[in-house]
Amino acid sequence: MPRILLIEDAEDYRRLVRHHLSILAPAVEVVEHLPSRDGTLPPELVGAGYDFVILGVPAEGKQAQNWLKNLTDRPYFPPVIWFSDSSEPGEELEADFAARGALGVVYKAKIEPGRLRTLIETAVQRRRDSLNAFRQSPGAEQAYRFGSTLIKGARCIRPLATSALSTVYLAESEKVGRLVVLKVFGQVPDRADEKNNTFDRFLQEYQIIAGIAHPNVVRIYDLGVADDHAYITMEYFPAGDLRTRIRRGLDIPNAGHMLRQMCEALGAIHSVGVLHRDLKPGNVMLRTDGTIVLIDFGLAKQIELDAEITATGEIFGTPYYMSPEQGHGRDVDERSDIYSLGIIFYEMLTGQKPFIAPTPMAVIYKHSHTPLPALPPEVAHWTGVLNGMLAKQPADRFGSALEVVAAIDAVHAARATA
């Protein structure tokens, strides 16, 4: 099914374009990009997942020309049809946009169905020819290589991070038509040699996460195995993570609202029987609209580690954010995630981790035995919520993420009426 990218701010015009496309090309899939909301297209995006682009940016000044040149200068970018807001057709204008790479111009004031149909048919054919030429080029296979692993349908842009268990790449997915994070794990273990089916449980857990449609849970686009390596394709966050935001200085009045979003995400995850197990600021991402999103669930790190503390004493997780029971290798449940989230919230409010020591085991000891440092007076109204999240014994904590949400709402209500 053909897919087009519609770049246009005006809702009434987007609706008009969809109406004409539903008649002329009823099988087409339309993906909308609003410049005022979404900004310019990321420079790494070459439109690999689209057959053509409709560009409806107003022609005031050189805005439309700059948009057009920016897109058509990208290698193998799809054909662009420019929808002009000019009131009258003009040969000079059409020649100008053709010189900048536009396939053709259609006028908003009077859309001619026959002309639009011809442009669509031409665009689709040109796109096919362009993709065929690319696939036969010497660099085609290399474009889909992630290290030694070949993953068709995902164009590798650059590595982002590497650990003992996986390598994370920035990629462009042809399937979803946008930039994605693609995480490639170590070689798939031999099922006969694997203990406790950790890898199978990891795959099952991510399949469950992929089925969660929640605004504060990362979108998982694909999960598979290629060249004996498991990989996950997921949402990309150009706005960065909470760790960076805390370092830069957090908007403290907004911290409670951010915590609420994280709790709602935890509630969604816990409701399907999944624990996060590795909550820390680096696993809390931000979308460009400010939405908070949880990523990187714990079993992804358990492919080789089947317990929180290994036989050699190696600790799974991040000691600064570990619950006492996780740090000591005991069974964990939803309340362990709540504890980790409480540590993150303390750091959001103060800019400091509550428990610091020279060694990981010393940090774990403090989680179990050292009282929580008092909050500064300006944020002391959150003390009750933190006490309910950070009790040493799980039985003394909030029992669910939804209970934390209720406590947050109570603080906000009290502050609003004070």
Q: Which of 51, 278, 296, 337 is catalytic?
A: 278
Mention every residue, 6+ apart, whose C-beta is less than 8 A from residue 148. 227
**If DSSP codes are grouped into helix, strand and coil, which group holds residue 269?**
helix
DSSP state, residue 336: H
Task: Give one word for 47, left, alpha or beta, with left for phi > 0 and alpha for psi -120 to 50.
Answer: left
Residue 283 has φ and ψ, to the nearest 5°, of -105, 15
- Distance, CA of 391 to chain centre: 32
**Side-chain-facing half-sphere of 290: CA atoms under 13 Å:** 8
Q: Taking a C-beta distance cutoff of 8 angstroms, is the pair 47, 55 a contact? A: no
Is 278 among the residues known to form the active site? yes
Q: Rounded to whole angstroms, how far apart are CA atoms 404 and 413? A: 14
H runs (alpha helix) in 211-351: 242-248, 255-271, 324-327, 334-350
Q: Which active-site residues does the annotation give?
A: 278
